[in-house]
Every structure is written in structure tokens, then in C-alpha cells.
């Protein structure tokens, strides 16, 4: 397990799990730190990634563009999960409006997200 500035990272059954800390607004600076923390944690090995977005309360356009491009390095599939109405709206917009390089889906149910990612584990 790794505790980053904006989230906690761990690997379980071949999937990286990320739980973001409460009340985060993802600016470009925050996005770069999140990606750097994840990349250091996974040590140059590609993984599917599960992100619990419950702590995210907002994001900037530049951060979203960064995350969909450089932010997906060493990710072979990405599942977002939240029950927060704000996170759900932000993520649905993110998925619909940006061109994703890796399979990316949003799930309201954690077990469905994990099931989606299982097919991308080695």
C-alpha cells in the first residue's frame, strides 16, 4: 500500500486500486501529482486501474485533458466508481467528451467495475 498526497494506492488480484482523499479539486498540478504517484507505485508494470472517485468534488479542463493523454501511461483498462452525484456527472462528462486511449468505463457498483477490469489482468 502507498499513501500519496491525494490518494491511497494498493494492488489486489492484479488490479491497482486508488481511493482519493476527500474534497479534491483536480487541477493540472493535482493531476500530475496523482499520475506521478501512481507511476512510482506501479514500478513500470502495466495494470488495470480502479478509481474510487468519491473524494473528487471538481476538476479543471486542463487536468482532464492531461489525464486522458499522459495520465493513462501504464494503464491497460480504467474503471471509475462512485455513488456521489457530483463525481458521477463529472465522470460521465469526462468519458463522453474525451478520446480515451484505453478502455474506460464508469460504474455505480464496485463489483461490476472489478469484473470489467478482471479481463485485463495478466
Contact between 68 and 100 under an 8 Å Cβ cutoff? The reply is: yes
In a domain, residue 18? The reply is: yes
When divided into structural domains, the chain yields a total of 1
Query: Which is higher by pLDDT, 122 or 83?
Result: 83
In a domain, residue 100? The reply is: no
Q: What is this structure's pTM?
A: 0.90
In a domain, residue 101? The reply is: no
pLDDT digit string, tens, across residues 12-53: 999 999 999 999 999 999 999 999 999 999 998 999 999 999
Q: Does residue 13 come out as left (phi exceeding 0), alpha (psi in the -120 to 50 range) or beta? A: left
Range of the domain at 25: 2-95+113-118
Domain with 69 in it: what CATH number? 3.30.750.24
Amino acid at each position: 500500500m502507498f499513501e500519496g498526497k491525494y490518494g491511497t494506492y494498493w494492488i489486489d488480484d492484479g488490479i491497482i486500486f486508488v481511493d482519493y482523499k476527500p474534497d479534491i479539486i483536480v487541477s493540472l498540478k493535482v493531476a500530475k501529482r496523482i499520475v506521478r504517484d501512481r507511476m512510482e507505485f506501479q514500478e513500470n508494470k502495466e495494470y488495470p486501474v480502479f478509481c474510487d472517485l468519491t473524494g473528487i468534488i471538481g476538476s479543471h479542463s486542463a487536468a482532464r485533458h492531461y489525464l486522458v493523454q499522459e495520465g493513462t501511461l501504464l494503464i491497460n483498462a480504467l474503471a471509475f466508481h462512485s455513488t456521489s452525484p457530483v463525481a458521477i456527472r463529472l465522470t460521465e462528462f469526462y468519458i463522453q467528451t474525451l478520446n480515451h486511449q484505453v478502455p474506460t468505463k464508469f460504474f455505480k457498483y464496485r463489483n461490476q467495475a472489478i469484473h470489467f477490469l478482471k479481463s485485463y489482468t495478466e
